[in-house]
């Protein structure tokens, strides 16, 4: 089974080497929206993935609505569009936007999970994956993070939303073994099959959908040139 | 000490998890055990840990290769994996864990360790 981690902020070379050691098939390196200016140099740096024998995906993170608008405009030039959740308005907007691939940590800094049933329905409709971030769970507010993750899992199971497990690593040592993430996912109420999918087939599908969005025939959600 | 007799059907079914700690710095078994036990207690509590029959095996620890084996009940393998995922620091140095093998017998785990796969 191939495992993927689509939310890594760490330095490219060291993260790629450690991810290869942890037997990942691919990782998504996410940069802030301000790095969009250096798109070509970032693409060059990602070529190290071939040396390590894993696929590296380039992604950008929108932290507010302005950044989301900017990143939507250039959606065809990179692999992943991740929205850093936390505010209700941004979470809802991300779930309603088909260009978005992943809504990361929707409950960050909140007492509630950050997504309700309406947002979950929109996310399922627009194929936006909701992320369960391991960094949140291993952080100081573990109790709250576990409770929020449990709520997100319950809602996603009800509405059929894509669930994604990722480390959210900010340096290479925060990358986690896929089996450890699997273990934690089962603790928060996921079935073994669902947890495996959240680490393998869901990320594969996200990358597939993203490639579709990058193709020249794709104009905007629902519009395609034959 | 004489061991108590147990009916074969009541004997616990153990699983052995072989893992490697990836870290730049060396560490001793006591450091790993302290970190592991404190994480276990903080996540599952005393009652939960008592049900898991979990133990870090000192005689299987390899300080050079940073390999260790944890024994647990067959129902609590995923809980042990979750704990290993939370292990991110040993004696103030960053580290991460790589799971190498989950086996039903210690013999197979040791064979895997010797082969160095």
pLDDT of B117 above 70: no
Cβ <8 Å between A21 and B86: no
CA distances from B117 to A49, A124, B71, B112 (A): 23, 41, 20, 6
Q: Report the half-sphere exposure of A141 (CA within 13 A, side-chain side).
A: 13
| A175–B contact, CB cutoff 8 A | yes
- Three-state DSSP state, B71: strand
Name the nearest CA neighbour of A113 among A156, A66, A173, A54: A156
Q: Chain B residue with minimal CA distance to A167?
A: B85
Residue B111 and residue B117: Cα distance in Å, rounded?
A: 10
The sign of the torsion formed by the CA atoms of A164, A170, A175, A180 equals: negative
CB B74 within 8 A of CB B14: yes
User: Which residues in chain A have Cβ-Cβ distances shorter than 8 Å to B22?
Assistant: 18, 21, 173
pTM value is 0.91
- Work out the minimum CA distance from A20 to partner chain B, whole angstroms: 11
pLDDT tens digits, residue range A62-114?
Answer: 999 999 999 998 888 899 999 998 899 999 999 999 889 999 999 888 889 99
Query: Which chain B residues in 34-73 lie under 8 Å from chain A, judged by CB atoms?
Result: 43
Name the nearest CA neighbour of A108 among A126, A121, A90: A90
pLDDT tens digits, residue range A182-200?
Answer: 999 999 999 999 999 999 9
Write out the DSSP string of A99-166. Answer: T--EEE-TTTT-SS-S--HHHHHHHHHTTPEEEEEHHHHHSS-HHHHHHHHHHHHHHHHHHT--EEEE
Write out the DSSP string of A199-212. Answer: HTHHHHHHHHHHHH
List A104's β-bridge partners, or say none.
Answer: A84
The complex scores an ipTM of 0.90
User: Region A154-161: what's the mean pLDDT?
Assistant: 95
pLDDT tens digits, residue range A101-122?
Answer: 999 999 888 889 999 999 999 9
Residue A177 has its nearest CB partner, among B43, B94, B98, at B98
Chain B contact probe: residue of A179, A181, A190 with most B CBs at under 10 A? A179
CA distances from A128 to A100, A156, B3 (A): 6, 11, 57
Residue B85 has its nearest CB partner, among A21, A142, A184, at A184
Look up residue A189 and give its two tokens.
């109420």
List A130's β-bridge partners, or say none.
Answer: A103, A163
Chain B contact probe: residue of A139, A176, A183, A195 with most B CBs at under 10 A? A183
CB A109 within 8 A of CB A87: no
Cβ <8 Å between B78 and A21: no
First to last CA, chain B: 37
Q: What is the pLDDT of residue B113?
A: 73
């Amino acid at each position: 089974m191939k495992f993927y981690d689509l939310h890594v902020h760490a330095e490219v070379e060291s993260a790629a080497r450690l991810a290869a050691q942890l037997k990942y098939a691919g990782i998504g390196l996410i940069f802030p929206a301000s790095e969009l200016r250096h798109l070509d140099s970032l693409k060059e740096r990602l070529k190290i993935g071939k040396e390590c024998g894993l696929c590296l995906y380039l992604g950008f993170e929108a932290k507010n609505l302005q950044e989301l608008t900017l990143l939507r405009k250039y959606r065809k030039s990179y692999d992943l569009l991740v929205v850093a959740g936390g505010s209700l308005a941004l979470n809802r907007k991300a779930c309603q936007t088909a260009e978005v691939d992943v809504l990361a940590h929707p409950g960050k800094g909140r007492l509630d999970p950050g997504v309700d049933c309406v947002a979950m329905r929109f996310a399922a409709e627009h194929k936006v994956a909701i992320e369960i971030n391991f960094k949140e769970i291993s952080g100081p507010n573990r109790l709250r993070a576990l409770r929020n993750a449990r709520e997100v899992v319950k809602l996603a199971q009800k509405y059929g939303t894509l669930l994604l497990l990722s480390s959210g690593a900010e340096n290479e040592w925060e990358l986690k073994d896929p089996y450890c993430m699997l273990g934690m996912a089962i603790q928060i109420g996921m079935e073994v099959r669902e947890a495996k999918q959240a680490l393998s087939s869901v990320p594969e599908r996200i990358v597939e959908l993203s490639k579709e969005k990058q193709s020249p025939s794709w104009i905007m959600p629902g519009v395609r040139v034959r | 000490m004489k061991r108590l007799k147990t009916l074969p059907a009541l004997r616990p079914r153990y699983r052995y998890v072989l893992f490697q700690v990836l870290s730049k710095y060396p560490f001793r078994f006591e450091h790993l055990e302290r970190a592991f036990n404190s994480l276990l207690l903080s996540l599952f509590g005393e009652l939960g840990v008592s049900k898991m029959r979990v133990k870090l095996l000192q005689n299987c620890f390899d300080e050079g290769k940073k390999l260790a084996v944890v024994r647990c009940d067959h129902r609590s393998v995923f809980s042990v994996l979750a704990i290993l995922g939370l292990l991110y620091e040993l004696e103030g140095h960053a580290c991460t864990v790589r799971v190498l093998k989950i086996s039903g017998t210690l013999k197979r785990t040791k064979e895997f360790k010797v082969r160095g796969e």
